[in-house]
Amino acid sequence: MIVVFFLVPGFVYGRVTGTMKNDRDAIDAMAASMSSMGLYIVLVFFAAQFVEAFNYSRLGTILAVLGADGLRALNLDNPLVFGPFILACALINLLIGSASAKWALIAPIFIPMMMQIGYSPEVVQCAYRVGDSVTNIITPMMSYFGLILAFAARYDRKLGIGTLIATMLPYSLVFFVGWTAFFYLWVFALGLPVGPDAPTLYPTP
């Protein structure tokens, strides 16, 4: 139903504008749209291999249990644990641009680790999204960084990567503090769910 919903109006629009004269033009347009998925499919393939190898080795489980014990020893089995976690996600984002790749790296370790100390996967993913978003504008690894640099260069011909990062760094810091504070306010101060029927706490074994 979704395919028909988009295919029929798209083909009608193409016929009216003259960009699609026959079924071959429609197939070429669909193929061009799907070609952009190639990078994502390659990424998912290698991410799946990583996750499978991680599950087979049981390293994720070992690190999760040891990490949970370490957090308890540091008295971080409370909401304060999300501060360092958000900071770690923000720093990892400087090195790995893809959100899917970062989540494939982080989730197998931190989801079970946080569950061991009583927090649901939904809350962990919410905190991850905070850390993942606040440093996007200052990392050249972000896929749209080149596009942003090109647009900025239209207004300042001498603008380079360093100037753009230096300009956006204060905004990144403000977003980091603001979104982290909002996360704590929403989840722990007000006790609101991060999504429909999404619990904050996870019953520990």
Q: How far is 72 from 75, CA to CA, in rounded Å?
A: 5
pLDDT for the residue 40: 67
Q: Please give the residue that has the higher pLDDT: either 18 or 192.
A: 192
Most confident range (mean pLDDT) of 103-112, 183-192, 196-205 is 183-192
31-52 pLDDT, tens per residue? Answer: 777 776 776 677 678 767 876 7
| pTM (two decimals) | 0.68
Domain ranges of the chain: 60-189
Average pLDDT over residues 93-120: 83
Query: Is residue 130 exposed (0-12), middle (13-18) or buried (19+ Cβ within 10 Å)?
Result: buried
pLDDT reported for residue 141: 76
Categorise residue 119: left if φ over 0, alpha if ψ from -120 to 50, beta otherwise: beta
